[in-house]
Amino acid sequence: MLSRDSFDIDPYEVEREILELGAIGAHSGTGVWRTVYTPEWVAANELASRWAVEAGLAVSNDAVGNVWMKLAGSEPGKSIVSGSHIDTQKPGGRYDGALGVLAALTALRVLKRRFGQPKRTLEALSLCEEEGSRFPTAGFWGSRAITGRSGPADAETVRAFEGETIAAAMRDVGLDPARIAEARRDDIAAFVELHIEQGPVLEHAGLPVAVVDAITGIRHTEVTLTGVQNHAGAFPMDLRNDPMAGFAEIASGLIDTAHRMGRPAVTTIGRCAVHPNGPAVIPRSVTFTIDHRHPNPAQRAILYARHDGLMREVAARRGLQLETKVQFDLEACLSDAEIVSTAKQAAAAQGVPFMVMASGAGHDTQQMAAIAPVAMIFVRSKDGRSHTPEEFSSVEDIVEGIRVLTATLHELAY
């Protein structure tokens, strides 16, 4: 493994490109509003493509608009790929997703300049609609197309918050939704994504970088508790079938379950709707959502089972009808042990302080795991902030993350 002196990462160039890319779709001072298939999204990809061409990379766009920036290898075989997404929340920050695209491009630029042609082909990748911020059911659109999990039929049914189909949006930027299947790849040997952490763990540990050994499984469940609507004053407590009382007990119990299991289990109740929502009325029903996550498949199953058991017990004891509907279920993803080992060795050789941790957020890497071994590298987020204009990572931490990524890619490709 090469030493720290082997890779010349220019912090001024990195910072300049972060700011220049962040100016496309700039919003709310330090924020970015850059949703898929908009003029801002097109312009951002054009800028990244121009930088890639200037670095001597071959650039191509696939059928859904993902941008591939290639440094061809001297030997035949599958590609080593690194990248992330260039779309944002509404608004998001300058770093979520975009930093992974710039990091991959920087790594390839440095490797080409320092070592020339690799043995195995290296590709930097700019993915699209990871966020689902324009099309709420199209999250991971770009990586799902690469793995063969989205097709022309999906394009006609997936709609934006404003009502247009994703097929229409694709046509607006010159893409043909009938050709989505052509984006599929089966020639990727490894995928390594650099991303900001989006949480406070690295900051609390006082470390700039993490090697990610697992990505959380995520389930969104909608729950409805139905009881008997009655007068808030005239109906005795012991005779009530009160769904709000059931909800209060369940909400506390669900969150306490994650607390008792400890990190990295998390449970969030982010939405609650009460019917009829009157101040002097025992409600008829309460509908709420559960976001429950764990990166360990076995522990994830235990978390969900405990949640389910708690809700059933409370509903039965209080005489409530319980209905549950799983809206979204993403399996946990374990990183490839060999790539994790390589990244850990790379960090040590580069003198970069690091830890190993799981990701509490979902990423394109989870989709790419269907076709290739994967891993991630995290960079510290200030105050753990993300999905907000206040999102920030220092250029010093970013350079350390890119250094680890570059050394990892060197080991995999050279």
Architecture of domain 4-215+332-413: 3-Layer(aba) Sandwich (3.40)
How confident is residue 347, by pLDDT bands cut at 50, 70 and 90? very high
User: Would you call 65 helix, strand, or coil by DSSP?
Assistant: coil
Q: What is the pLDDT of residue 102?
A: 98
Q: CA-to-CA distance for 78 and 191, rounded, in angstroms? A: 11
User: Would you call 296 helix, strand, or coil by DSSP?
Assistant: coil
Q: Where are the alpha helices (DSSP H) in 220-377?
A: 243-261, 297-317, 337-349, 364-368
How confident is residue 104, by pLDDT bands cut at 50, 70 and 90? very high
Q: How many CB atoms lie within 10 A of CB 6?
A: 16
How confident is residue 6, by pLDDT bands cut at 50, 70 and 90? confident
Of the candidates 180, 354, 214, 208, the one whose C-alpha atom is nearest the C-alpha of residue 293 is 214
Render pLDDT for 122-142 as a digit per residue (tens, 0 to 9): 999 999 999 999 999 998 999
User: Would you call 359 helix, strand, or coil by DSSP?
Assistant: strand
Render pLDDT for 145-171 as a digit per residue (tens, 0 to 9): 999 999 899 999 999 999 999 999 999
Q: What is the pLDDT of residue 4?
A: 83
Task: Give this prediction's pTM.
Answer: 0.92
Q: Give the length of the chain.
A: 414
Domain coordinates in residue numbering, the chain: 4-215+332-413, 218-330
Q: What is the mean pLDDT of the chain?
A: 97
* Cβ pair 261, 299 in contact under 8 A: yes
Q: How many angstroms from the chain centroid is the CA of residue 403?
A: 22
User: Would you call 27 helix, strand, or coil by DSSP?
Assistant: strand
Helix (H) or strand (E) holding 74: none
How confident is residue 301, by pLDDT bands cut at 50, 70 and 90? very high
Of the candidates 392, 358, 357, the one whose C-alpha atom is nearest the C-alpha of residue 96 is 392
Q: CA-to-CA distance for 220 and 204, rounded, in angstroms? A: 28
Q: CA-to-CA distance for 298 and 230, rounded, in angstroms? A: 43
- Classify domain 218-330 at the CATH class level: alpha beta
Render pLDDT for 381-402 as a digit per residue (tens, 0 to 9): 999 999 999 999 999 999 999 9
Q: What is the pLDDT of residue 328?
A: 87
Rounded mean pLDDT, 236-245: 97
Rounded mean pLDDT, 334-360: 97
Render pLDDT for 48-87 as a digit per residue (tens, 0 to 9): 999 999 999 999 999 999 999 999 999 999 999 999 999 9
Render pLDDT for 19-49 as a digit per residue (tens, 0 to 9): 999 999 999 999 999 999 999 999 999 999 9
Handedness of CA 34, 35, 38, 41 (dihedral sign): positive
* Longest alpha-carbon distance in the chain: 82
**DSSP codes, 335-346:** PPHHHHHHHHHH
Token representation of residue 203: 């900051």
